[in-house]
Homo-oligomer: A and B are copies of this chain.
Amino acid sequence: MSILVVGSVAFDSIETPFGQRDRILGGAATHFSVAASFFADVKVIAVVGGDFGPEQEIVFTERDIDLSGLERVPEGKTFYYSCEYGFDLNDRHSRVTELNVFADFKPKLDEVARQVPYLFLGNIAPTLQLEVRRQMVSPRLVVLDTMNYWIAGAREALLQVLREIDILMINDAEARQLAEEPNLVKAAQRIRQMGPETLIIKRGEYGAMMFDQNACFAVPGLPLENVFDPTGAGDAFAGGFLGYLAATHNLEPPALRQAVIYGSVMASFTVEEFGCERSRRLTYEDINQRFRQFKQLVHFEDIEFRRSDKPSFTATTAD
């Protein structure tokens, strides 16, 4: 087993200006594991209710995702989330959040899970993230996602778990909020002093950035002709990112940059349809082709501009 993910498996009702879906399979652990499964073997730690049936289970099993750590509470209901997006798809308006079986979730890791080298702590309460982190024997890499709600409401617990992870993934507003600093470069420095050696900033349609000890890496978002549903894009990004690292066992800076691209690739597919619809149909050719599209998107040739390149005033005019 390569990757362990802890997070939500959910039913999502989503409305965007381009369509809507009712009670489709979603949740951070779902989007993450489907994306990561293209690169490495994934085991899910989560909880679902009696409404989670074969139709949902197949999304995982068709991709060989290990559900032996999925807790089932037959008398309960699966986490339910409903939201609505505005025209530019950057603004999400949450309508309903029903924690249901997730309210009493206490993740317990079996012996296999505790030994997994790569861990993704999806966006759940920092106290739960810490509990999971401390059950792990000696993970090679721990990546954590969180959100404004926990930064504001569970700051102490969050700061505690940040000391025990390697990579933090949040958006720019959350980075500014966590660091209490509006400048992103300074915010990144502060956040890296809180524990994570690497900070990845997700910027939606604007792409992603990565700050580590020596450098900053940035990739723009791939301009897409069809964007239907941004839900899960951040988790798919994390899945592509960590999946690639787990597959190659290479954590050097160039590999981290490639992992950011694979994360961007998987996120770009996720938003093209609702839920996991697009991701489930992906091929390796799709994935590699989009990786090349990112390469072409940002490619430019080196040059040095010399003063002598400037046309002289007298040479080009008669005045």
Q: What residues of chain A have their CB less than 8 Å away from a CB belonging to chain B?
A: 1-2, 17, 38-41, 64, 66, 68, 87-88, 112, 176, 182-186, 188, 203, 205-207, 209, 211, 215-221, 223-227, 244, 246-248, 254, 257-258, 260-262, 284, 287-288, 291-292, 295-307, 309-313, 316-319
Contact = CB atoms under 8 A, between A and B. Distances in A.
B40 A311 contact: yes
Contact of A1 (B40, B219, B317): B317
Contacts of A312: 41
Contacts of A17: 182
Contact of A313 (B41, B244, B258, B307): B41
Contact of A302 (B184, B295, B316): B295
A311 B287 CA distance: 18
A176 B205 CA distance: 14
Contacts of A112: 317-319
Contacts of A309: 39, 247-248
A311 B41 contact: yes
Nearest to A304: B288
A39 B310 CA distance: 5
Contact of A209 (B64, B223, B301): B223
A208 to B, nearest CB: 9
A31 B39 CA distance: 48
The 6 closest A-B pairs by CB, nearest first: A218-B220, A1-B317, A257-B300, A206-B206, A112-B319, A185-B225
A295 B303 CA distance: 10
A203 B207 CA distance: 12
16 contacts: A87-B182, A112-B318, A183-B225, A217-B298, A217-B299, A218-B297, A218-B298, A220-B220, A254-B300, A257-B301, A262-B305, A284-B305, A284-B306, A288-B304, A288-B305, A298-B298
Contacts of A248: 309
Given A219-B298, A260-B300, A295-B302, 15 more contacts: A1-B316, A185-B223, A207-B220, A209-B220, A211-B223, A217-B297, A218-B223, A219-B220, A247-B310, A254-B301, A258-B301, A261-B300, A288-B305, A291-B304, A292-B302
